[in-house]
Structures are given as C-alpha cells and as structure tokens.
Amino acid sequence: MWVFDEYAQAYDLWYEKPFGMSAYKLELECLKKLYQQSEISLEIGVGSGRFAFALGVRYGIDTSKELLKMAVRRGIHGVLGKAEALPFKEKAFDEALMVVSLCFFEDPIASLKEANRVLKAKGSLLLGLVLSDSPWAEFYKDKAKKGHPIYKNAKFYSYRQLASMLKETGFSIDDVYTTLFEAPQDKQPLRTKEIRKGFWQEGGFFCIRAMKLPF
C-alpha cells in the first residue's frame, strides 16, 4: 500500500512517542501470552519489524519497500509481496502472525487462506488487532473521517466476523486475550497494564490464536 511508503518514517516513529511506546509494550506482552516460539515463523504485514524483532520472528513480508528496509535493519528476513499471494511454498512455516495488519489487507479472506496454505499441519495463526466491537475502533474511525492518511485505509471487523472468516479459511480460534482497558486517546502514556484472558469488547487490543484445521 503506497501510503505506508509515503509515511514510513512517521509510522515507525509513532512507536517512540509517549502513547505509542506504552501501547506497543502492552500489546507485545499480550501477544507473548499466545506466541509459540519457533525459528520458522512469518509475520504477514511485518511493517518496520518492531513486533517481529521483539518476538523473535525471523521472516516477514510487506508491500511497503520503505518499511521493509527498516525491518531488515532490525534483522528480519524481509520479502516484498502481498498477503493475498504469499511467495512461499505450502506448509513452510510453524506459525504465522498478522499484527495490526489484517485491517489494511485488500482481501482478508484471500490473506487468511494464504496464511493457512503456508502453515504446516497443526500450525497456528496469531492475530493482534483492533476489533469493531471496541470503543477504540470508533476512535480510529473518527480520525479516518478527519482525513488521517493511514486510518482512512483501515477496515475494522467484529469478533463475530473475524471468527467467521477464520472458520471459512480453515482455522479455529484456540485462545484469546484482551488488553488496553482505557478511554481511547493517543497522546498520553497508558496508565493501566491489565491483560485479561478472553474477549472483552471494552478493551482496545485483541490477541487471538487460531489453529489450522486438518483437512
């Protein structure tokens, strides 16, 4: 997506601002509760590689050349490509991740099908995302209406929609955690660091592990 090339520097620097840094740390802790450490893992929509680097994910793919350059500098084996047409063989990875990226994919169903294809039997897909059930989605939608260059390209899905899409593409939800239990804002550092097991729609960030179903 061209917008991520144009705003790559601003996108990556967001993680070093007071709110961004605190949100990143909290989201990372949430993901760690579900990430199954593997040397053969792939982040789809790796961006600048901050989550992949912190989690120990070795491979990443993205459509943005500028963000991929940052990911490579962080030690990620970066590949330029689309989530809807992954340039990898079938059953190549133990685990795939989509962190704050599904909402930007042109075709989420095709992306999930591709993730399933490149996962080994009993492989898992870890998602970290904002869902439309959350008050945070409304906050970002409002920013989109005001012309925010990145959020205006995002599409948020409900938990029910996501569960349906996962089932359609050969996955079953295995475990869920929720965090970011504060009123939406993006300026001040977060005060609470609570992470709850399960889906809580009043939260702002959801970590979902889905297992590849046998065929």
Q: What is the pLDDT of residue 90?
A: 97
Q: What is the dihedral of CA 41, 58, 155, 66, to 10 degrees?
A: -160
| 96 in Cβ contact with 126 (< 8 Å) | yes
d(C-alpha 98, C-alpha 92), whole Å: 16
Q: What is the pLDDT of residue 140?
A: 93
d(C-alpha 96, C-alpha 101), whole Å: 12
User: Other CB atoms closer than 10 Å to residue 36's CB: what's the count?
Assistant: 11
What residue type is assigned to position 27 of the chain? E
- Count how many domains the chain has: 1
Token digits for 153?
A: 């390209």
> What 3 state SS string does the chain have?
CHHHHHCHHHHHHHHHCHHHHHHHHHHHHHHHCCCCCCCCEEEECCCCCHHHHHHCCCEEEECCHHHHHHHHHCCCEEEECCHHHCCCCCCCEEEEEEECCHHHCCCHHHHHHHHHHHEEEEEEEEEEECCCCCHHHHHHHHHHHCCCCCHHHCCCCCHHHHHHHHHHCCEEEEEEEEECCCCCCCCCCCCCCCEEECCCCCCCEEEEEEEECCC
d(C-alpha 200, C-alpha 205), whole Å: 10
CATH number, domain containing residue 203: 3.40.50.150
Q: What is the pLDDT of residue 2?
A: 61
Token digits for 38?
A: 């593997």
In degrees, to the nearest 5, what angle opens at C-alpha 126 toward C-alphas 120 and 208? 130
Q: What is the pLDDT of residue 192?
A: 92
| 133 in Cβ contact with 126 (< 8 Å) | no
What is the extent of the structural domain holding 32?
Answer: 2-212
d(C-alpha 121, C-alpha 29), whole Å: 27
Token digits for 65?
A: 């050349």
Local confidence pLDDT in tens for the 215 residues of the chain:
567 778 788 888 999 999 999 999 999 999 999 998 888 999 999 999 999 999 999 999 999 999 999 999 999 999 999 999 999 999 999 999 999 999 999 999 999 999 999 999 999 999 999 999 999 999 999 988 998 888 888 999 999 999 999 999 999 999 999 999 999 999 999 999 999 999 999 999 999 999 999 87
Tell if the pTM clears 0.85, that is, is over it. yes
Q: What is the pLDDT of residue 11?
A: 85
| 54 in Cβ contact with 97 (< 8 Å) | no
